[in-house]
Structure 1
Amino acid sequence: MDNRVGVRGTSLPSEPPAPRRSRRWPRRVLVTALAGGVAAGAVLTLLPGGRPHRAVPPPAAGPQAQAQALTAVTSGLPAALPQLGALIALQEQRVRAQPRDARAWAVLGAAYAARARRTADPADCPRAEQALQTSLRLRTAQNTEALDGLTALALTRRDFPAAKRYGEEALKSAPKRWTAYPPLIEAYTGLGDYKSARATLDKLLGLRTGAAARPAVMARAAAVYRDRGWREDAAAQLADAAAGAGTPAEQAAYLTGLGQLAWERGDLQDALRHFEAAVRLDPDQGAALTGRGRVLAALGRTTEAYEAYRAALTGHPSPQGAYELGELYEARGMTEQARERYDQVLELVRRGMAGGVDEELLIGRYEADHGDPQEAVERLEAEWERQPGTEVADALGWALHRAGDDEEALTYATTATDATKGGGVRSALYAFHRGMIELELDEQAPARRHLQQALRFNPYFSPLQVPVAQEALRALGDVPEEPPPSA
């Protein structure tokens, strides 16, 4: 486990602590929020271009496309990138013409946040925050659109405490409005508050929502069911959501979710079918492009997998996609190519942090397997204090194992995999991590059980770790009857 590729010169340098997010990673100074009382017109300098300028017509997109994007943004639904671009251009014109229009600022901020989430480009995050805070300053009472936008922005940044705060405020101001519920459920999940997530879902399901909203409600229900380990129920909800989606972009998002569920249960053909259908509907669906690369690699179609990953990273570079491709290269013994991708991960993470994105989870995972495990422990312990979700529990447990503290590691690995503690999701990676920790503690029976479980959940879950799990089971004297092909 210690022969992983390291990235020379990219371990995090020691620097003075930075507020809240990163201890050692360098952060460039961000444009700060305008102080209260500053005229809204001053915010115009923060729009792309850096200064007020002549209005530019929006990209080619008719009124219908702009209306669809407006509906999607104000309802928290997926929107196509060209439509989002057209809406943003239109709203930029409006706030220049009417700088005290609170709703125009709220829509602009929400559109920036939606584009940031779609493209994984953090540059839109500070713009979104400026626009949304401007809207709140212009209208403090009943400004649910601005609160919704700030909730969405916080989720994009993986700032679940802020998402909870804004989401609860939005829900309090309009408790019968269905759009307030899905982002709040996501915030509770990120904080490990699964009881509140389920209770909020029950309230959402009890509302009378129109036909246009039902697919989004079903998709949020599917996410909660998946976290509880109810894969079949989650897939059924997403299939119905995809069938009832009102736009290609919305349908593509739900098909991507179906592809992810199929991947998590090791059904490669079903996963590939859904990912490819999503990309046909929405070529900018970055998660589907990355998922397609993941599946093609598991199928042994390695050249196509490289191409799929590179296409995803060219269009919408995400640190997670670069990380997966780096591990695929490493599993193939392509050391230099792996280092290049790990370098890309670090650069993308730095950009995300500059936009206010909480990247501690990914940094911790990277450091645990490819850098300094003790650094991973320190970061993930702080992240656990701030937002103790299942993902963080798993990552912290693994980091502690890699740092040599297996007794403590098992506590967190158990939290990530024990349904009574919130870890109901059937994750092959989580089961593998727990099995390897138990093996190190010489708890052979539970180690065997969890390693078998990992390969049963998804026998292709990681190009690096599947061979490790197989070898560990051989050493325990128990190998699956038909082990998956070497990744």
Structure 2
Amino acid sequence: MENEQGPGNRRSRIPWRVLISAVAGCAVLGGVLVLVPWGTGGTRAPQPAPGAQALTAVTTGVSAALPDLAVLIDEREARLRKRPGDAGAWAVLGAAYVEQGRRTSDPANYPKAERALHRSLEVREKNADALSGMAALANARRDYRAARNWSEAALKVDRKEWTAYPQLIEAHTGLGDYKAAKRALDRLLELRSGPAVQARAAALYRDRGWREDAAAALSDAAAGAEAPAERAAYLERGGQLAWERGDLDVALRHFQEAVRLDPDQRTALAGQGRTLASLGRTTEALNAYRVAFTKQPNPAYALELGELYESLGLGQAARVQYDLLRERAARSSAGGVDEELVLGRFEADHGDVDSAVRRLRDEWRRQPGIEVADALGWALHRAGKGKEALKYARVATDRHKGGGVRSALYVYHLGMIERELDMPGAARRHLQEALRINPRFSPTRVPLAEEALAELGEPDMDAELPE
């Protein structure tokens, strides 16, 4: 069974629930899930002031609403004009800028965050809050080695600085060190409980292929979240998980509820676009992607939207998106963000294949996670280096090397590489597996997978034996 190696058999920390129950405030009538508004049927405690709510969010490492973040930033800047020696206020300001940059994909926030956090460390050198903030900044920039070092520095100052552990887990994952990520998660679970910890655990469980555990953890995180922006973030992750396993109706409900709770949840809006495209509702998908990219110009959204245009035969519209991708990636790089992974993926399929290989080789040397392994394997395949490509594609899909995530795209890449290397049995199995994981994982790649399977035909039982 898929989950027999998961943490559910080692501990009973997380109660088992169906993922859709993550949409808290729901009722089940006759087996049909019904969403109802939050707060009905009871009296809720008054919400804290916007600045206070954002302060709670950024100091505990959870999503904050963008208007609340703006209030918090204004408050801290006003305070620091009067008290420039307040190390704690500098650390909070830096963390708020990191969150604002992450939520808006505006890299101009990251140099501001860096200056504020360095100022905090100048005022007080042994400052776990500022060190954790630097780790969050490094993760936002996809500099996982620096994030690991900053997290470890925070823990040297205070071994119980629990907010450093989620950053350390993300850094270890980005570097492909999944055993270290698991050890950091175990320590975090000893120190802390609650929605933020459950969501962090869910991300690691998903990366290891333990989807039921991830679903249960996200369910509990969403049910326990206090602020709408935080709850929306967990619902968005639940939507991603549902989409990855091909449960499109559930994914769409999660994304829609996330946007209802937090209209600035553009990641969920892009998730809607992805899901609507998979459902064949292309006009709605295009609108969702356009709004998401306008409000949060993430290069990855431009790539997905461009590929959707390509699937519709709209080559000129696709090229416009690819130009925007390059422009946004250049702006992000100017803010210190590592965009080599998305650029490598783009170049491999739509641009300069040799450039893709160079970029992704360098990225693999810096931070060898499974995302990079998959992208590098595919770029090598596109460059005609099939045998080397197979090595990286296997790393990305080999659970013993950390690649346990159930990704239709990764398995599709493996199958297509095997087909090119004249390995029909393995290619057939992996292409079929990709379509089982998510039958509509990509508007451009699913038709190619189906075409390749048709060409491979039925197995020759006399000639093909299982590997």
Superposed, 1:325-340 pairs within 5 Å as 325-340=305-320
Superposed, 1:62-461 pairs within 5 Å as 64-141=49-126, 143-207=127-191, 209=192, 214-461=194-441
Contact 2:185 2:201 in 1 (8 A): yes
Report how far residue 311 of structure 1 moved. Answer: 1.0
Q: Deviations over 1:260-301 (max 9, x none)?
A: 000000111000000000000001111100000011111111
Q: Deviations over 1:384-411 (max 9, x none)?
A: 0000000000000000000000000000
Report how far residue 98 of structure 1 moved. Answer: 1.8
Aligned in 2, Cα 1:478/1:69: closer, same or farther, shift over 3 Å?
Answer: farther
Report how far residue 104 of structure 1 moved. Answer: 1.4
Amino acid at match of 2:102: R
CA RMSD of aligned residues (A): 1.1
Amino acid at match of 1:252: A
Contact 2:135 2:164 in 1 (8 A): no
SS at match of 1:178: coil
Report how far residue 177 of structure 1 moved. Answer: 2.8
Provide the C-alpha distance between the structure 2 equivalents of 1:378 and 1:283, rounded to a whole number of angstroms.
39
Amino acid at match of 1:438: E
SS at match of 2:263: coil
Provide the C-alpha distance between the structure 2 equivalents of 1:197 and 1:294, rounded to a whole number of angstroms.
29
Provide the C-alpha distance between the structure 1 equivalents of 2:295 and 2:371, rounded to a whole number of angstroms.
27
Q: Deviations over 1:411-445 (max 9, x none)?
A: 00000001011100000000000000000000111
Report how far residue 138 of structure 1 moved. Answer: 1.4
Give the unaligned 5+ runs of structure 1.
1-61, 480-487
Provide the C-alpha distance between the structure 2 equivalents of 1:97 and 1:389, rounded to a whole number of angstroms.
45
Provide the C-alpha distance between the structure 1 equivalents of 2:161 and 2:93, rounded to a whole number of angstroms.
21
Provide the C-alpha distance between the structure 2 equivalents of 1:71 and 1:188, rounded to a whole number of angstroms.
26
Report how far residue 92 of structure 1 moved. Answer: 1.1
Amino acid at match of 1:285: Q
Provide the C-alpha distance between the structure 1 equivalents of 2:423 and 2:155, rounded to a whole number of angstroms.
47
Amino acid at match of 1:357: V
SS at match of 1:463: coil
Aligned to 2:44: none
TM normalised by structure 2 equals: 0.87
Q: Deviations over 1:124-145 (max 9, x none)?
A: 011000111111111102x111
Amino acid at match of 2:74: A
Aligned to 1:477: 457
SS at match of 1:357: coil
Contact 2:128 2:161 in 1 (8 A): no
Aligned to 2:42: none
Provide the C-alpha distance between the structure 1 equivalents of 2:420 and 2:63, rounded to a whole number of angstroms.
44
Q: Give percent identity, aligned residues only.
A: 64
Provide the C-alpha distance between the structure 2 equivalents of 1:246 and 1:460, rounded to a whole number of angstroms.
34
Provide the C-alpha distance between the structure 2 equivalents of 1:330 and 1:458, rounded to a whole number of angstroms.
20
Provide the C-alpha distance between the structure 2 equivalents of 1:235 and 1:195, rounded to a whole number of angstroms.
21
Provide the C-alpha distance between the structure 2 equivalents of 1:223 and 1:257, rounded to a whole number of angstroms.
9
Q: How many equivalent residue pairs?
A: 413
SS at match of 2:406: coil
Report how far residue 478 of structure 1 moved. Answer: 4.5
Provide the C-alpha distance between the structure 1 equivalents of 2:152 and 2:310, rounded to a whole number of angstroms.
44
Moved over 2 A (4+): none
Report how far residue 100 of structure 1 moved. Answer: 2.1
Q: Deviations over 1:147-200 (max 9, x none)?
A: 111011001100000100001111222212321211110110000000000011
Q: Which moved more, 1:164-173 or 1:389-398?
A: 164-173
Contact 2:154 2:161 in 1 (8 A): no
Provide the C-alpha distance between the structure 1 equivalents of 2:137 and 2:338, rounded to a whole number of angstroms.
12
Provide the C-alpha distance between the structure 2 equivalents of 1:467 and 1:108, rounded to a whole number of angstroms.
48
Amino acid at match of 1:412: Y
Give the unaligned 5+ runs of structure 2.
1-46, 460-467
Q: Deviations over 1:80-114 (max 9, x none)?
A: 00000100111111222222221111111110001
Aligned in 2, Cα 1:261/1:63: closer, same or farther, shift over 3 Å?
Answer: closer
Contact 2:59 2:95 in 1 (8 A): yes
Q: Deviations over 1:330-349 (max 9, x none)?
A: 01100111011111111110
Provide the C-alpha distance between the structure 1 equivalents of 2:329 and 2:107, rounded to a whole number of angstroms.
10
Amino acid at match of 2:174: G
Amino acid at match of 2:130: A
Report how far residue 71 of structure 1 moved. Answer: 1.1
Aligned in 2, Cα 1:63/1:275: closer, same or farther, shift over 3 Å?
Answer: closer
